[in-house]
Amino acid sequence: MQQSSPRRDLSLLPKAHLHLHFTGSLDVPTLRELAEFGGVPLPESLIDADPLSVPQTTRGWHRFQRSYDTARLVVTSEHAMRRVVQAAVANDAHDGSRRLEIQIDPTSYAPHVGGLVESLEIVLDEARAASEAYGVSVGVVVAASRLRNPMEAETLARLAVRHAGDGPGQVVAFGLSNDEHAGVTEEWAHAFSIARRGGLASVPHGGELCGPDHVRRVVGSLVPTRLGHGVRATEDPVLLEQLVDAGIAFEVCPTSNVHLGVYETAADVPLRTLVEAGATVALGADDPLLFFSRLTDQYVLARDAHGFTDHELADLARSSITASLASPTDKVTWLAEVDTWLATPPQEGRQ
């Protein structure tokens, strides 16, 4: 029987992780730990061996959101918030991440720790500590929710600007998350304008649950540097070309796309379409707690479901680093490390 050639270890491929939600970043052991610490009972659906899968409907999204909200019940103290950051960075370090830009809506945690300011400062402080401890540069994305009043987003934007920067433990961008069907996109334009004037990049979600018309509204109103997901833009080649020409990067989360019912299989995610159109693509895990799939797993899918070669996988890693909001000096260092990974022969038994 012919033996297959050894493959390079994708967990050693230097990369950046640009699409990861705060509570959704948890792993089950840490979730259990925090539940025990807080005396919170967990439903079997959060700790069993089955990842969440829902249909691409409003009802499906609400089921996803209920699961996320249930997990968030264990994050009701400063200790728990710090543990979320620690676990996220430790897992990213294991996956070869050099840069993590973790997304949080401080509003959800503020009542438990004294307010919005305290909520964000806890995360920023722990991001600095975890960056040093694990060797992963951790920036923070402050994100408003489509389910809240847009005026609250303006308050969040002003708070985020106070901590703007590109280094570990600083706010690097302003986002907009939750159900893409909710709210009127244009109503968040002022909040994003505040953030941009304060030096923050715009990284709203768009083009996952909703199609090209929604992407146009997000781009026209919120002026993104990166699109959270954006995969549905591939349904309109003219729009896709415009986004590529504008230099807007795509945070693509293949596992999430499948488990939220956007595509039936990983092979259906239009990853090659984006790459062949010249898009800057950064693979992300979105919510590993619910989908049981972390950062390296997205690169494995690119290889196994889409046939990406080692050189193409290295290009994806380079794209993620380029699309990050880290300092130019750090980017140069990490890009050189990608070249080193590609130049190192694969070893037997490595995947």
Model pLDDT for residues 160-171, shown as the tens digit of each residue: 999 999 999 999
User: In this predicted structure, what is the pLDDT of residue 4?
Assistant: 61
The mean predicted confidence, pLDDT, of the chain is 95
Instruction: Say yes or no to pLDDT of 242 above 80.
Output: yes
Asked if residue 164 lies in contact with residue 198, where contact means CB atoms within 8 angstroms, the answer is: yes
Domain parsing of the chain, residue ranges? 10-324
- Mean pLDDT on 96-116: 97
- Mean pLDDT on 17-40: 96
- Mean pLDDT on 26-34: 96
DSSP codes joined into one string, 98-118:
EEEEEEE-GGGTHHHHTSHHH
User: In this predicted structure, what is the pLDDT of residue 45?
Assistant: 86
Instruction: Say yes or no to pLDDT of 189 above 80.
Output: yes
User: In this predicted structure, what is the pLDDT of residue 57?
Assistant: 83
| Apex 104 CA angle, 103 and 107, nearest 5 | 160
Instruction: Say yes or no to pLDDT of 350 above 50.
Output: no
Domain at 10-324: CATH code: 3.20.20.140
**Token pair in block for residue 231:** 């995969």
- Mean pLDDT on 307-315: 98
* Residue that is written with structure tokens 């409003």 in the block: 58
Asked if residue 278 lies in contact with residue 246, where contact means CB atoms within 8 angstroms, the answer is: no
Distances, alpha carbon 233 to alpha carbons 61, 155, 173, 221, in Å: 20, 30, 22, 16
Asked if residue 20 lies in contact with residue 306, where contact means CB atoms within 8 angstroms, the answer is: no
Instruction: Say yes or no to pLDDT of 3 above 80.
Output: no
Q: Which of 44, 208, 251, 264 is catalytic?
A: 208
State the Cα–Cα distance between residues 138 and 167, nearest whole angstrom: 7
Q: Among the listed ranges 39-48, 140-149, 224-233, 282-291, which one has the minimum average pLDDT value?
A: 39-48
| Apex 271 CA angle, 22 and 213, nearest 5 | 80
208 is catalytic: yes
- What are 174's strand-pairing partners? 142, 202
Instruction: Say yes or no to pLDDT of 348 above 70.
Output: no
